[in-house]
Amino acid sequence: MKNPSFLELEHISKHYGIPHKSSYVPILKDISLRVETGDAIAIVGPSGSGKSTLLNLIGTLDRPSTGSIFFDDRNLSELKERELAKVRNQDIGFVFQQHHLLPQCTVLENVLIPTLAEAAAKQENNVHERAVQLLEYVGLKERMDARPGQLSGGECQRTAVVRALINRPKLLLADEPTGSLDHASAENLIQLLVDLNKEQDITLIMVTHALHLAQRMKKQFELLDGKLHPHNE
Ligand SMILES: Nc1ncnc2c1ncn2[C@@H]1O[C@H](COP(=O)(O)OP(=O)(O)O)[C@@H](O)[C@H]1O
Ligand SMILES: [Mg+2]
């Protein structure tokens, strides 16, 4: 028995079939990666290089064509769809380029949505209190009754971060989280992610195409031609 990391990708590949042809397009080729608890990892790479594809595999939104992903002592390839959905809801938080908040709900209601899922096994008694505490942490306690339309882009994205954290995930995945923000809001959001990683020990994997933002993470990798390379200055 080997000693598994918190998250381990072993020889992952991903290809997509071409409709009406027997050939396929390789996107990810033989990627291996070890992630330890408390890591803060940035993945950079050109548009179309497969960054979102890779993050979706880690986030159990998709399955690799070959290779295995071990997460928290489980081999994800061996899990059924139902079990994967539970991992996704309970153990992984997602932040995307668009905040995807529900416009008709308040900030507080939006961040409570992930707690409504039936399998909320580790749901705490006072999830409302946790939501308010997290909103205070990101500087939005005063705005918790506002609706997304009344917030700035940066505030919406900070709300999305709180929503991603509400179920106490072990891993936070962020796919170009600053992609629709202005420079100042982007800096602010990255600082929040760095603080969360340091102060709350949240393991973080962030995809970005901005090198200066990637450098704020502890480790950097570059995805190029389907391969993941350590990115050293
Ligand atoms: N479901 C899919 N079917 C076919 N091709 C896809 C699919 N998803 C992504 N691709 C292709 O895979 C490549 C990588 O996409 P993506 O992971 O979104 O790149 P990035 O996030 O680095 O911009 C692109 O060429 C894209 O068109
Ligand atoms: Mg992408």
pLDDT in tens, 72-115: 889 999 999 999 999 998 899 999 999 999 999 999 999 999 99
Residue minimizing CA distance to atom 24 of ligand 1: 48
CA of 125 to the centre of ligand 2 (A): 36
Q: What is the pLDDT of residue 23?
A: 84
Is the predicted pLDDT of residue 120 greater than 60, yes or no?
Answer: no
Q: Residue 30 carries which side chain, given as an amino acid letter?
A: D
* Closest to 177 (Cα-Cα) out of 169, 166, 162: 162
Determine if ligand 1 sits within 6 Å of the CB of residue 60.
Answer: no
Q: Among the atoms of ligand 1, which is closest to the Cα of residue 16?
A: 4
CA separation for the pair 102, 147 (Å, rounded): 9
CA separation for the pair 212, 141 (Å, rounded): 30
Determine if ligand 1 sits within 6 Å of the CB of residue 51.
Answer: yes
Q: What is the pLDDT of residue 123?
A: 59
Q: What is the pLDDT of residue 113?
A: 94
CA separation for the pair 165, 209 (Å, rounded): 24
CA of 96 to the centre of ligand 1 (A): 15
Task: Mention every residue, 6+ apart, whose C-beta is less than 8 A from residue 68.
Answer: 9, 10, 11, 12, 75, 76, 77
pLDDT in tens, 152-209: 999 999 999 999 999 999 999 999 999 999 999 999 999 999 999 999 889 999 999 8
Of the bound ligands, which one is closest to the alpha carbon of residue 224? 1
Q: What is the pLDDT of residue 58?
A: 97
Of the bound ligands, which one is closest to the alpha carbon of residue 62? 1
Domains by residue range for the chain, with CATH: 7-230 (3.40.50.300)
Reading across the β-sheet that carries 66-71, which strands appear in turn?
A: 24-35, 7-17, 66-71, 74-75
CA of 96 to the centre of ligand 2 (A): 9
Determine if ligand 1 sits within 6 Å of the CB of residue 47.
Answer: yes
* Closest to 69 (Cα-Cα) out of 48, 49, 92: 92
- pLDDT category, 57, cuts 50, 70, 90? very high
Residue 203: other Cβ atoms inside 10 A: 19
Local structure of 166: helix, strand or coil: coil
Residue minimizing CA distance to atom 1 of ligand 1: 16
- pLDDT category, 233, cuts 50, 70, 90? low
DSSP labels, 83-135: HHHHHHHHHEEEE-SS----TTS-HHHHHHGGGGSTT-TT--TTHHHHHHHHH
CA of 50 to the centre of ligand 2 (A): 7
Residue minimizing CA distance to atom 2 of ligand 1: 16
Is the predicted pLDDT of residue 119 greater than 60, yes or no?
Answer: no
Is the predicted pLDDT of residue 149 greater than 80, yes or no?
Answer: yes
Q: What is the pLDDT of residue 19?
A: 80
CA of 53 to the centre of ligand 1 (A): 6
